[in-house]
Each structure stands twice: as structure tokens, then as C-alpha cells.
A and B are shown apart, each in its own frame.
Chain A
Amino acid sequence: MTGVALELRGVGFAYPGVPVIAGLDLAVDRGDFIACVGPSGCGKSTLLALLGGHIAPTRGAIERHGRSRTIYQDGGLFPWLTVRQNIARGLPRDLDTAAAEDKVAEWLAITRLADLAHLYPHQLSGGMRQRVELARALAAETDILLLDEPFGALDYQTRVRMRRELAATLAERPRTVVFVTHDIEEAVQLGDRVIILGPRPTSVRRVIELPPGRVRLPAAPGVPEAEQAIMEELGLT
């Protein structure tokens, strides 16, 4: 996977009278896993909405090479559809019925959801719902995944498990990922690069490159230093 998947040139965004993003320049290569951290309310979710094409920048330009899917913290699944139907809804639309059924079965197996295929989202735990979101997004075979604090509503143990599942799935089926999180540990364990955003109106304060490997253990080379640097940038030390 080579080339640029996402490119932001001087991107700014403002709601009427409320500037949210001051000016962002960023290039994300294909297959990169970018983690974005920043203070609460700095515009991280707005950045993902821009990258997903849901809102247009008020200045600057965004180039997106390929289709994207977003995974939200919660509520992104259609509650009137079962797990199976939600995943099927995410599939490429040109698939015939038999191929679509095979694909759904494959993703149900990968995400260990086969036993829950007939259930509705409200009948699942938070971790299970996020696995369905993940399956739906990955089954779409899009090039870019945008993750908006996908594990933010989960308990610590489930979060750790979900990080491993995400990393394992991406190792088999690489995608370009922009991962927004408020969890510094999560950003450092998963990201190839961590983008630190400043307060609103936000801009990039610093980019931290991390050594190869995912999920990184807390004591792995470069991890404590990266966490320390992020804490300092965010004024948490």
C-alpha cells in the first residue's frame, strides 16, 4: 500500500461565529494508522466529519483517495436491524445475494459474532456493538477507516480486548486509519503516528512518530517517552 490516502491543505472549519479548526496541514499515507489526541472539545470529531465528507471545510481543501467508513463511539448501528442485517447493509452494493451471505458469514466469524447474528443492537453489550460496527465497516472493503473514540464507552478490560482485535484484524486486512481518542495510552499503543491537536480553534501542535509494532505494550521501547511527551503537550504534567 503506497501513496497518499488523505491530504489536508490549510483546512479550516467554523460554525457560524465559532471557529473550530484554525488550519490543518496533514498527509496520511495508505496503510498508515494515525491517532489524534487533543483537549476535550478541540474539534477532533469535527475533523473526522470533514475527513468523512459529512461536512465541507470553510477554507482549504481535503483530498481523499478512496472511500471511507466511520465507526462511532455508540449509536452508529441501525437499531431496527439485526447484527446480520447491519453487517449486510455495509457490504458493497454490487455483490449478488450468495456472495453477500458468504461475506456476512465471514465477518461474523472474524469478529466472533456468529452466535449473536439474530440479535438487535439493544440486546448486545457495548463491546459486542463495537464489534458489529467494526465488522460492518471492514466488510465494506473501503480504503479508509475513521474511528471516532470507538472504545470510549467501554470498560477498561473490554477496551484492551477491542484494541487487540482491531490490531489483529488490520494486520490481516490493512486499511488507512484515522483514530480519534481521548485515551493517550490507546493512541500510543495503536498509532504509527500520534497527532496532538491544540485547543479550539485547533491546529496540529506536534506529531510523534512511534516505533513499529501494534499493540505496543506499556513498557515497549518509545512508549513511555511518547506518553510523557503527549502529557506535556496537553499540559497534564
Chain B
Amino acid sequence: MHRSVTPSLLARRRAAGILSRWSLPLAIGLVLLAAWWLASAARMFPSGTVPSPADVARAFVIEVRTGRLFEDVIASLYRVAWGFATAVAAAVPLGLVVGRSPAVRSAVLPWINFFRSLSPIAWIPFAIVWFGIGDPPAIFLIFLATFFQIALATAAASSAVPKIYYRVAQELGLDAVEVVFRVTLPAILPQLVTALRVAIGVAWMVVVAAEMIAVQSGLGFLIVDARNGLRMDLVVCGMITIGLIGVALDLAFARLSRLDSVRWGGER
């Protein structure tokens, strides 16, 4: 049977799409929560190993009321912002040079890959020896965790920019700096935004690891401190906060990829 596509049908389909985008993840979350609550109520876990949802909720309320959770979130975000921003500022220019120059690429690319393969955790001893304790070692670790990834993604994207754009740029009379800002960077923006989206997730994971070692604040420190006090409710409270902020950061970068100047890369 033929069914004509009307504006109201399209609106209904759009509404159904939005509903399924939010309702399905929410439903899975509720199932997980129910399973956790049931297991906890049935005392399936040894005492003191897994807190109940109610314990975690209580811990959340206390942490929010006292402002401690907010302070830890700000401390972690501050470190991620600095580490990530400095990595982007350094890695994108390096990636552009590596991508556009075959000579530089053959000289530098193996070393980018070498350092990219090293876990940032391996740098912790150096981070502490070089920067002491506090924010700098955590920022340094985030920088290392994201710098090589972003440089490699930028190099790969800029080496794949179609030659035709540069020929057009030459005919338009663009100089070298204009070519970078008006051709190469816009041309690689879709891939760059994807790389940044991956890198911000890595940065968020690394800050938690770094805060477990070298600092006295942040969500990583909250978890270690709670573990030392056998406060597993607070550990889970920290874990949920980390997960939620991770999702929020990813959504923010996903939004970036929907900008008109970026979206063409996915819709060509």
C-alpha cells in the first residue's frame, strides 16, 4: 500500500527519532540501576565491597552540599583544559608541517609514533621529578597523552588534502599563511574535530589517573582518598561524576562536528 510522505508524518518520525535517542539509553540506565539495587538488596556482594544505590545517593547529596564535589570537578577540568589546550596549540602546527612536508614527515613521523605508543602513566616518575606535586605534573601528563595523538591525526588529515584545493588557492593568489588558514585548516577540520573528540576522552581518563598520584584535589584524588577511608560509596560517587562529565565533554565535541563549516566532511 502506498503511503504518502506528509509534513506531519515527517514531524512524527523526527519526534520518534528524538525519543529513541534519549529513551533507549535512559531505559538501559534504569535496568542497570535496578540490577544494582536488587543485587545490593539481596546482599549478593560481600559486606563493604559494593555500596547500595541509596548509600551512593546519600554520598552525592553530602558532597554536593559541602561543595567538595564541585571543587574536585573544577580542579580536574582546570587540569584537563590546560593540558588539552597546550597540546592542541602545539600539536596542530606540528601536524600541519609533518603532513605538508614529505621530508619532515619521514624524519618526524616515526618519533611521533614512538612516543604515541608510550602510556602516559609511564611518564609519572618523570612528571613528579620534573614538576613536583600539584597541577603541573597532571597537566604535563594530559599534554603527553593528547599531543602525539592530535599531531598524528593532523598530519594524516593534512597530507590527504586534495591537491586541487592548492591549485585553486594558487590561482586565487593566496599567500602561504592564507593557504594554511583558508585552505588546509578548513579542509582538515572535520577529521581534526573527530581527533579532538577522541583526545578529550583520553585527557579526561588521564587526569583521573594523574590525580591519584601527584595532587591533593580532583576527582582522581577523591577516589583514592575515599578508598583509603574505605568509603566505597564515595568511590562510586566519584566514578559516576567522572562518567557523566566524560559524556558531557563528548557531547560538546559532537556538537562541534555539527557546525556547518565542519559537517560537510561527513555529508560529501
Please tell me which one of the listed residues B162, B171, B173, B264 contacts residue A80 in the complex, with CB atoms under 8 A apart: B264
The reply to whether B168 and A76 form a contact with Cβ atoms under 8 Å apart is yes
Report Cα–Cα, A108/B226, bound state, in Å: 66
B164 touches A122 (CB 8 A): no
Min C-beta distance of B267 to chain A, whole Å = 5
Taking a contact as CB atoms under 8 Å apart, the answer to whether B167 and A54 are in contact is yes
| A78–B189 CA distance with the chains assembled, in angstroms | 13
A53 to B168, CA, bound (A): 11
The stretch of A2-10, A65-73, A98-106, A155-163 that contacts the partner chain: A65-73
Q: Check A90 for interface membership: any CB of B closer than 8 A.
A: yes
Tell whether, in the assembled complex, residue A80 and residue B189 are in contact, meaning their CB atoms are under 8 Å apart: yes
- B105: min CB distance to chain A, Å: 20
Cβ of B11 within 8 Å of any chain A Cβ, yes or no, is no
Residues of A within 8 A of B183 (CB): 78
Chain A residue at minimum C-beta to C-beta distance from B167: A54
A79 at the interface (CB under 8 A from B): yes
Closest residue of chain A to B261 (Cβ to Cβ) is: A80
Which residues of chain A are near B2, meaning CB under 8 Å? none
Let me know if A52 is at the binding interface, CB within 8 A. Answer: yes
A78 near B173 with CB under 8 A, answer no
Classify chain B: how many residues form its interface, as a range: 20 to 34
Which residue of B has the minimal Cβ distance to A73? Answer: B164
A19 at the interface (CB under 8 A from B): no
A138 CA to B264 CA, complexed, in Å:
25
Residues of chain B within 8 A (CB-CB) of A90 are 172
Asked if B187 is at the interface (CB within 8 A of a chain A CB), the reply is: yes
B268 A79 Cβ-Cβ under 8 A: yes
Please classify the interface of chain B as helix (H, G, I), strand (E, B), loop, or mixed, using the class held by over half of its residues. helix
Interface of A is mostly: loop
Measured CA separation A53–B167 after assembly (Å):
9
Given contacts A122-B267, A122-B268, contact A78 B261 (CB under 8 A): no
A89 is an interface residue with CB less than 8 A from chain B: yes
A173 within 8 A of B: no
A120-B260, A120-B264, A122-B267 known; A78-B167 Cβ under 8 A: no
Of the candidates B162, B165, B171, B268, which one forms a contact with A69 in the assembled complex, judged by CB atoms under 8 Å apart?
B171
Interface residues as binary, A130-146 with B (CB distance below 8 Å gives 1, 0 otherwise): 00000000001000000
| Shortest distance between the CB of A177 and any CB in chain B (Å) | 15
Q: A52-B171, A68-B171, A93-B173 are in contact. Are A76 and B264 (CB under 8 A)?
A: no
CA distance A140 to B268 in the complex (A): 26
Of B170, B171, B182, B267, the most chain A CB neighbours within 10 A belong to B171
A215 CB to nearest B CB, Å: 26
Q: Please encode chain B, from 237 to 268, with 1 for each CB lying within 8 Å of some chain A CB and 0 for all others.
A: 00000000000000000000000110011011
Contacts of B168 in A (CB 8 A): 70, 76, 78
Tell me if A218 counts as interface (CB < 8 A to partner B): no
Asked if A75 is an interface residue, CB under 8 A from chain B, the answer is yes
Least Cβ–Cβ distance between B4 and chain A, in angstroms:
24
User: Which of chain A's residues has its CB closest to B166's CB?
Assistant: A54
Q: What A residues does B172 contact at CB under 8 A?
A: 89-90, 140
B167, B265, B267: which contacts A70 (Cβ < 8 A)? B167
In whole Å, how far is A50's beta carbon from the nearest beta carbon of chain B? 12
Q: CB distance B186 to A75 under 8 Å?
A: no
Q: How far is the CB of A207 from chain B (nearest CB, A)?
A: 27
Q: Are B171 and A70 interface neighbours, CB within 8 A?
A: yes
CA distance A121 to B267 in the complex (A): 10
User: Quick one: CB contact mask for B68-108 with A, threshold 8 Å, 1 for yes?
Assistant: 00000000000000000000000000000000000000000
Contacts of A76 in B (CB 8 A): 164, 168
What are 14 A-B pairs at a CB distance below 8 A?
A49-B167, A53-B170, A67-B171, A69-B171, A72-B164, A76-B164, A76-B168, A78-B186, A79-B265, A79-B268, A80-B186, A80-B187, A120-B260, A140-B172
Given A75-B164, A76-B168, A90-B172, 17 further pairs, Cβ under 8 A: A52-B171, A53-B170, A54-B167, A67-B171, A70-B167, A70-B168, A75-B162, A78-B168, A78-B183, A79-B264, A79-B265, A80-B189, A80-B264, A89-B172, A89-B182, A122-B264, A140-B172
- A-B complex: 7 closest residue pairs judged by Cβ atoms: A80-B186, A79-B264, A122-B268, A54-B167, A80-B261, A122-B267, A75-B164
